[in-house]
Amino acid sequence: MKPLLVSAVSLTLLAGLTACSRAPEAESQAAAPPLSSGVIQANIDPAVRPQDDFYRHINGKWLTTTEIPADRSNYGTFTSLADASEANLRAILEEAAASPDRTPGSDTQRIGDFFASFMDEEAIEAKGLSPLADEFKRIDALATPADIARYIGHTQRIGVSEPIGFYVAIDEKNSTSYVSYVVQNGLGMPDRDYYLAKEPKQVETRKKYQAYVRDLLAAADVKDAEAAAARILALETRMAEAQWTRVQNRDVEKTYNRYELAAAGSLSPGLEWPAFLDGAGAGNVTTLIVSQPSFFTKLGGMITSVPASQWREYFRFKLLNAYATYLPKRFVDLHFEFNGRALSGTAEIKPRWKRGVATVEGAIGDLVGKVYVERHFRPEAKQRMDQLVGNLMQAYAVGIDALEWMTPETRKAAQAKLATFTAKIGYPEKWKDWSALEVRRDDVLGNVQRAAAVEHDRALGRLGGPIDKTEWFMTPQTVNAYYYPPANEIVFPAAILQPPFFDVNADDAVNYGAIGAVIGHEISHGFDDQGRHYDGTGNLREWWTDADDQEFRKRTAGLVAQYNAYSPLPTLTVNGELTLGENIADLAGLTVAYRAYRLSLGGKEAPVIDGYTGDQRFFTGWAQVWARKHRDDDMRRRILTDPHSPSEYRANGVLVNMPEFQAAFALKEGDGLYRKPEDRIKIW
């Protein structure tokens, strides 16, 4: 599915009730133990002044003593929580795989046999490449441009990345209906810059990639794999040159281009759309939203000018690359050496059970989620989260009314949008129907293909039907959260509802700084540089006055410049334009969380706990959830591809703009995080 305007913040749990909403204790009950500060004292480095580098003051000892696990490219608060979720899922899957009561077609049979099929290394080795025999025959038969287009369509159903990505989603300019989208795709490396950048590190990575392509083809007994790899890299480089940049792809207006089928054919001569749609099982589609028109124009030219023999080489490699982790060990190892070690610096491949959990998660994660919710999600968690979301929404409304730079007309429209937000918490009210999926205990690759096909067909089945307002794009066990503009909804899966983002034994301050800021972050995506273009009904529509639009752009330009100046590695800086949406959401999210916290105090001052004032604990709650370490290769990949800034800049970058932080820690001119009042950026 198309990348959503979502937060990739990995987080955890429900937030507490406001101080004034706690039920009084019965007189007969013993007094509750005093609440803790919530400050993780063991992580603090007293040698670093909070006024100079709050991130390292709060997390310094953790950063010094923590080693990134050998099977990880990075590690931090979020990944430690994902580890706990992963262990819970392992127990569920192993129990299901060993259960004697695996009625054919039951949830237990599907998740248990799916996991068991991945864990059966002996059977996978014995089969070799035979599970791909039919696909290889299909590729070998390709001869014409129509054949090539039809095959690219076919791969949409089996989960293989090709030059076109196809999906069905809510129409961004008519949010009462679904429509088909097509997006640029097809690269084997993470981004076009990996093919085009002149930096020595990227040149070296390209050499490693070509060697990987060669070795993967050679392992499948492809003749003259060396020459084939060179041709594949050359073809992908042509695609990379035609692709839009990640910054360009963030523009929601420019990536919405509606074409009827005949017009799409004129846009991209050589690309036979009817054949593509026929291969995708979408022959009834007559309208496409084309995200990058110029890419498809050039792709049409490539389909007719590149010999079919080269397309067959490319498709064979893409098939092997997509399925390498479900094939014999020689393919698994080759895939890890490039995609794990070369791209991210990961030292060791993950244990097989972890890869098995990830496989089932990626294919039929919500089936596992049903069991996860039954075992690990308390009903009262949703109630408490509902209350905190309500508090943050109220605080956001107060903030909109107080904006000195916004005209009454736009302020009224912003309030109307805020009032229509929907919050989804915990898990879907309606689970997906997997009755069409056949899972075989001895066929992991087939299971992956069939699951992808069921999901693809489910999406196609939405066309012409009503909007499913119960749909989720994350499983309950995902440690994350998101905002989806066409539905104007914020979503918090069950797995984020746990410490350290919410600590039931801690004072409210640290919880507002952690989970409160997360909720504020997701709300703020509805008002970031792209989310603001959607109205309260989820439609792309300009509802800003020209004056407000210009003022908003002026303020966000300052945020772009601020983050452009951050350099996590020599010669590599943060891309302030790519990360703008997330940086706006961080700044606005923490601002509104602070406002909600102060409102919760009812005009009173919070107690001092462990030597920290309430405001100090609030900002500590924010900083300590960002503890994270990266390998250099992983950091390089993220800077080029991730719309989120590195964790230390997410922590400190917001604080320099908040006068409340400056006051809480008595910052003065000359301190590392001090910024003059006139230089501080305020948006929401």
pLDDT digits (tens, 9 = 90+) for 244-257: 999 999 999 999 99
Using the predicted structure, report yes or no on whether residue 154 has a pLDDT greater than 70: yes
Q: With bands split at pLDDT 50, 70 and 90, how would you rate the model's confidence at 4?
A: very low
d(CA 136, CA 320): 10
**Alpha carbon distances (Å) from 104 to 112, 432, 438, 440, 444:** 11, 18, 9, 10, 17
Residues 182-203 have a mean pLDDT of: 97
Q: 558: pLDDT confidence band, cut at 50, 70 and 90?
A: very high
pLDDT at 191 over 50: yes
pLDDT greater than 80 at residue 286: yes
pLDDT of residue 363: 98
Across all residues in the chain, what is the average pLDDT? 93
Query: Span 74-89, mean pLDDT?
Result: 93
Instruction: Go through the domains of the chain in sequence order and give each one's CATH number.
Output: 51-76+377-428+477-679 (3.40.390.10), 145-324 (1.10.1380.10)
Mean pLDDT of 256-261: 97
pLDDT of residue 24: 32
Alpha carbons 622 and 515: distance in angstroms, whole number = 9
pLDDT tier for residue 212 given thresholds of 50, 70 and 90: very high
pLDDT at residue 39 tops 80: yes
Question: Region 121-136: what's the mean pLDDT?
Answer: 98
Please report the pLDDT score of residue 47 as a whole number: 98
Sheet containing 174-184: order of strands: 164-171, 174-184, 287-290, 258-260
As a whole number, mean pLDDT of residues 490-519 equals: 88
Q: What tokens does 342 get? A: 């070369």
The CA-based angle 487-488-490, given to 5 degrees, is 105
pLDDT of residue 16: 30
In which band, very low, low, confident or very high, does the pLDDT at 502 lie, cut at 50, 70 and 90?
Answer: confident
Residues 445, 132: contact at Cβ < 8 Å? yes
Is the pLDDT at 147 greater than 80? The verdict is yes
Q: Which two tokens stand for residue 256?
A: 């919405």
Cα 655 from Cα 587, distance rounded (Å): 8
Checking if the pLDDT of 497 tops 90, the result is no
The pLDDT of residue 23 is: 33
Q: Are 633 and 340 in contact (CB under 8 A)?
A: no
Those residues with Cβ within 8 angstroms of residue 348's Cβ, 6 or more apart along the chain or in another chain: 70, 71
Q: How far is CA 548 from CA 100, 113, 306, 537, in A?
A: 64, 56, 49, 21
In 3D space, the residue among 671, 629, 650, 574 whose CA is nearest the CA of residue 246 turns out to be: 574
How far apart are alpha carbons 607 and 610 in whole angstroms?
A: 10
On the 0-12 / 13-18 / 19+ scale of CB atoms within 10 A, 98 is: exposed
The least confident of 1-5, 400-404, 448-452, 596-600 is 1-5
Closest CA to 228 of 318, 336, 341: 318
Backbone angles phi, psi at 629, to 5 degrees: -125, 145
Helix axis angle for 647-655 and 546-564, nearest 10°, is 120
pTM: 0.92
Between CA 208 and CA 216 the distance in angstroms is: 12
- pLDDT tops 60 at residue 26: no
Mean pLDDT throughout 459-463? 97
pLDDT in tens, 629-676: 999 999 999 999 999 999 999 999 999 999 999 999 999 999 999 999
List residues bridging with 425 in a β-sheet.
492
Q: Which residues are paired to 489 by β-bridges?
A: 422, 484
Of residues 531, 546, 447, 543, the one with CA closest to residue 489: 531
Q: Look at residue 32 in the predicted model and tell me its pLDDT.
A: 57
pLDDT at 176: 97
Q: Is 70 exceeded by the pLDDT of residue 551?
A: yes
Region of poorest pLDDT, from 20-34, 507-521, 601-615:
20-34
Name the 3-class secondary structure at 1.
coil
Nearest to 525 by CA among 492, 478, 497: 492
Q: What is the pLDDT of residues 345-368, one digit of tens each?
A: 999 999 999 999 999 999 999 999
pLDDT at 78: 87
Q: How confident is the model at residue 380 (pLDDT cuts 50, 70, 90)?
A: confident
Widest pairwise Cα distance in the chain: 84
In this predicted structure, the answer to whether residue 13 has a pLDDT above a threshold of 70 is no
Distance CA 132, CA 144 (A): 22
What is the pLDDT confidence band of residue 109, given thresholds at 50, 70 and 90? very high
**What is the DSSP secondary structure assignment for residue 485, as one 8-state letter?**
G
> What's the chain's length in residues?
684
pLDDT tens track for 291-338: 999 999 999 999 999 999 999 999 999 999 999 999 999 999 999 999
Distance CA 343, CA 340 (A): 6
Q: Tell me what pLDDT residue 31 has.
A: 53
Q: How are beta strands 482-484 and 489-493 bridged, if at all?
A: antiparallel
In the chain, what percentage of residues exceed pLDDT 70?
Answer: 95
For residues 441 and 113, the answer to whether their CB atoms sit within 8 Å is yes
> pLDDT band for position 18 (50/70/90)?
very low
Cα-to-chain-centroid distance, residue 255 = 19
For tokens 């639009």, the residue is 549
The pLDDT score that the predictor gives to residue 30 is 47
Q: Give the pLDDT confidence score for residue 7 in this predicted structure.
A: 35
Average pLDDT on 96-105 reads: 93
